[in-house]
Structures are given as structure tokens and as C-alpha cells.
Structure 1
């Protein structure tokens, strides 16, 4: 049986990688450090075999630290690089002993002060460099940025893109605008999506809304371009990773075994080149 993969988790040590966005009052449950041992306990609790760790700050030093974590349950790292500079040079500077663990790059586009960051010519050049290195790019955007993301994805057909958290639906109050943007993005064959970052939607008690959101994603992308992610430890702010994993299993229960396998393992393995 193929291993189950959580395609979106985070680790942080605030002594080296501060997380100033964490509110100690409203986010008390995650107002601490999270290490590989914590990740392994979470994976055991959710019945998942392995995880892809995703950067949480625009920091090359954080990326080097994530790559150096020895846990065998971490099968890949989505790190950060300065995409307004020479990406190939930055990748070549990584320690060769851990460079293979780098499976993708992400930039915190949703909080970048430049609203047109994705469309910068130098960023476009860097995206092409990622494609030449067979690395994917994680798109973390808000729903209003989805049309812009779709334009960029279309301009770089040789690059694989995956939109995190279904394009920020959890933070959107424009359901129709979100759906239109997500479908526009999904029309590009090199675009994928993560069913992640929705534990808060689930904890709100609106099961019908959650089913609709995931239903839109299934119709737009198909299971072969969707992957499961917990967004742990942020999932602790909502229903928690165990309840979220159970909810996803229920949401995809009517799919065929092959389609369920794509979402829980196959798509992430193929997108991030994780191997068997």
C-alpha cells in the first residue's frame, strides 16, 4: 500500500525563525515552537506516513534549517528563495547533502507589500529557473489574487504550480468571486491545488459550505490535481488535524479508490517528485 502524505505542514523555532503573526491571546494553542518530534506525533495521530514541510517565513536561513532536519517522516521541503535575484545561484549554494530534499519554493505572496509581486519580470525569470530545476512553486494567495495567479501560471506552462489552501477561501467573504478565480486557475493544466487550510471552516459548523468548497475544487481540478494537507500546526486553531483528516476522508468517500489515492498520496508524490 502506498504511503499517505500530508502535503502541507510547518515547523518553527521562534528563537531562530520568529513568527510575529502569532497572537498569543487568540492563537495561544500555537504560541510555541514545533519540532520534528511534534510532527511525528501528529502524523501518528492522523494515520499519515510522511509530510512535506513548507516554509513559514521568507528566509533562506529557515530553508537551510528545514532541509537539515533528520526526520525520515519529512519527505520534502518547500523552501524559500529570493525570486527577484538569481535563483540558480541560490540553489547551488545549498549543502549538496540535503539539496535533494528541496522539492519546491514558496514566497508569502499574500502578505507581500507589492500587490503585483507575482507579475514582476524578474520573478518570471526566476519561475522559469525553478521549472528548469524541476521544482514546483507553491502559490499562497488570497482569493482576490487568484486571477493574477492564473495569468502567471498561464505565462509559465513549463512550471508546476500548486495553490495552497484552495486559494484562501477560509479568509474570503466573496464565495462567488473565489469560485470564479479558482476555476480560472484550474483551467491551466500546470496548476494544482491543496485541500488544506480549511480546518477553521470545518470548526465553524457549516458542513454544507465545506462540502461545497471541496466539491468546487474536485470539479475544477479533478482528483489527479488535488492533494491533502493538514496545514498543521495552524489546524490546531480550528478543529485540529485529526478531525480534519477524518473530514477529508468523508468528503472524498464516494470517489473511486484510485481517485482517493491521488488526493491522499499520488498527486503530492508526482507534483513534488517524491518517488515511491
Structure 2
């Protein structure tokens, strides 16, 4: 099946704990995913279609502040036809950030680097994204035609807003919708900040990572729907993209349950709107090329 009728998962992770530890997995509650996960595991898990669309393309995203991890992800993208783009990591504060990005893009797998991300949610500085050295690094990202994945918690959304204001030329995508506090049912401030961010036309948003912000055991579609309604109102379908946050989503139901939820949320949307959310927006933002169609190479 071609990408035009397929599904793009704009946010997933892989890690091999025998090669590179993931210290964040040592936190309580992560026991179900405290093992290695590869792209073959995603293929096995993602068996459900959304609106009749099977998974055909993905974007793999960095987990830790590690250039070797980013290089491994690029190599994986070069060898696995399921992966169409990589969101990597580089030290934005480094005076040599431009050279580092150029080095990452050297060689055939480097062409898969389409964006950079830093785990800002773990930074205590409430103005981290506005630090002069960080802004210099982000400008270097934009100058190389790359985007930036913004990973912040809901109380950090003002940083994302200021970033969008100060660097209007830098393509941005908000990961996990800014992590709305779904479990606490305190969405008013989040929704207000979201609307402000969405006024900046260079910003897109991932419909991902929501179930792990809800009650992992008891969440229902009704818990997610107010967030979906706010996202649809703020960004519109042409600026939203589906992501699974696999395998983290295993903590709250898994890939197929999230896929079923997204299909239910899309009920009432037009075919063109469904295409935008499930493939079009991600394809444009990450400049995804068509997946290989030769027998035995495409993910079915």
C-alpha cells in the first residue's frame, strides 16, 4: 500500500539496553517497558488500522542526550524501510553545534535527519529555550533546513510560545500536545496556552503521548476527547499529526488501543482531514519520501 493510503506514526522510540542504557527507565512505573525495543517489535504491535489505513511509515525520535544514539537511529533508518525520518539530539548549547549537525548529516543515513529534540521537560530552568546559547543552536538547526521537536510539560508552554515568537522561521512541532494534565482534569490553563502557541503558523502538533498523561488504568475515550477538541480547534487538522509514542504507550494500553481511540476521535472528520492527521501533516513536516514498494521491503 502506498503512503497516500497508509498511516504515518510520527513519534516512536527504539532502544537496545545492551548497547545503551536508558536511565529514565529506572523510574518507578516503567517496569513494563524496561527492556529493549526495536522496529520489529513495533511491526508486531501495530496490527490495527486507523480508518482502514495500515502503518506504512514512521518517525523515530531520540530518547537521551546522546550523539551515538542519534547516529544509531540514522543507521537504522538507512536499513529499515519503515522508518522515514529521524528526530535526533545534538547539544544546542555547544559553540560547535553547526559542525555537529553537518557531521550528523554526512553519509547516506544522514539524509534521514529531519529534526532535532532536547528533553526540555527535564530542565529546571524556566527559560531554558530562551538561553542565548540555546537560541544560537536553534538558529543553526533552522539554517540547515531542519525542524525542532518541542518537548515540554504543560507548565512550560510559555517557553514554547516565546520560542515561536523569537524564531518565526524555525519549523516547530509540539510533542505530545504539551502534555496536558489529563489525569488531574485541569485543562483550562493548558488549553489557553495551546491556543496562543497555535497562533504561530510555523507550529504543528503531535496527537501523541496523551494516554500516559491520563490515568493509566482507567482512562477512556471520554477522558481524551476534551484534549482532542481543543487541539482540533486550535490547530485544525492540517497542522495535527498522529503519533503513538510507542513503546511508552504500552504503559497505558498499547499501540492498538491508542489507534482505536484515534479512529473514534476522527469520527465526523472528512476524508481530507483524516488524511492530514494520519499522514499528510507528518509527511510534509518531516519531508517523508514514499516508502519502498518492492515486494519484501515495504511494511504491510
TM-score of the aligned structures, taking structure 2 as reference length: 0.87
Correspondence for 1:68: 75
Residue 214 of structure 1 pairs with residue 221 of structure 2: no
Give the alignment partner of residue 19 of structure 1, picking from 19, 22, 25: 22
Residue 153 of structure 1 pairs with residue 156 of structure 2: no
Correspondent of 2:148 among 137, 158, 164: 137
Cα distance, 1:171 vs. partner? 6.6
Distance 2:99 2:182 in 1: 36
Deviation of the 1:206 alpha carbon: 4.1
Q: 119, 126, 132: which one pairs with 1:115?
A: 126
Shift of 1:13: 1.1
How far apart, CA to CA, are the structure 2 residues paired with 1:225 and 1:202?
Answer: 27
Partner of 2:239: 225
How many pairs align?
Answer: 276
Structure 1: stretches of 5+ with no match in the other structure: none
Q: Is contact 1:194-1:227 (8 Å) kept? A: yes
* Corresponding position: 1:254 with 2:263: no
Deviation at 1:41, TM superposition (A): 1.9
In 2 relative to 1, CA 249–206 (structure 1 residues): closer, same or farther, beyond 3 Å? closer
Say if 1:209 and 1:67 are closer, same or farther in 2 by CA, change over 3 A.
same
Q: Which of 8, 20, 24 does residue 5 from structure 1 map onto?
A: 8
Asked whether the equivalents of residues 85 and 112 of structure 2 are also in contact (C-alpha less than 8 Å), the reply is yes
Question: Can you give the 5+ residue segments of structure 2 that lack an aligned partner in the other structure?
Answer: 291-300
Give the direction of change, closer, same or farther, for the CA distance of 1:25–1:92 in structure 2 (3 Å limit).
Answer: closer
**Among residues 199, 202, 206, which one is paired with 1:190 in the alignment?**
202
Residue 100 (structure 2) pairs with residue 90 (structure 1): yes
Q: Deviations over 1:68-92 (max 9, x none)?
A: 1111101111000110123220022
Residues 117, 151 of structure 2: 8 Å contact kept:
yes
How many Å separate the matches in 1 of 2:193 and 2:279?
26
Q: Please say if residues 84 and 289 of structure 2, whose CA atoms lie closer than 8 Å, have aligned partners that are also in contact.
A: no
Q: Say which SS state the counterpart of residue 98 (structure 1) adopts.
A: helix
Q: Distance in 2 between matches of 1:24 and 1:138?
A: 24
Contact 1:106 1:138 in 2 (8 A): yes
